[in-house]
Amino acid sequence: MLSDKARRELAQELNKNINIPWVPENIEESMFYHAIGIILDALDQYIPDAMKELIYNPSVGINEEAAKIFFNRLVNILNKKIDIPYIFSEKEERQIISTILYTIMGKMVSTGDADK
């Protein structure tokens, strides 16, 4: 889904935008990297392969409007289905899920490749 490099860059971005008050700054990034794994695992569990093809390959037929609808639906579903145990705020958990999905789907819509 995402290369290790893309995951690390995303973890850095999350770390800049979200603070976990009880965790030292130098540890937060690794926690966000872990959270990315939780969310990607959930996508694997809840999204059938045919739907994943729509996310990662725009030539299959998904357009920007459909991607927005699908994005919002996925955020809502994943926010209900998963729990990131070290994120205490529902709002921050939703922000993390949204940022990760946007990174995958937003880039997919414009470039056709989630790793770019």
Domain that holds residue 69: 4-111
Q: Which of 12-21, 45-54, 103-112 has the lowest mean pLDDT?
A: 103-112
On whether residue 39 sits in a domain, the answer given is yes
Q: Which helix (H) or strand (E) holds 54?
A: helix 49-56
Give the whole-number percent of the chain exceeding pLDDT 70: 82
Q: How confident is the model at residue 47 (pLDDT cuts 50, 70, 90)?
A: confident
On whether residue 89 sits in a domain, the answer given is yes
Kindly tell me the burial class for residue 91, based on how many C-beta atoms sit within 10 Å of its own C-beta (0-12, 13-18, 19 or more): exposed
Q: Does the global pTM surpass 0.75? A: yes
Give the count of domains, the chain. 1
On whether residue 116 sits in a domain, the answer given is no
Q: How confident is the model at residue 51 (pLDDT cuts 50, 70, 90)?
A: confident
Residue 75 in this model has a pLDDT that exceeds 50: yes
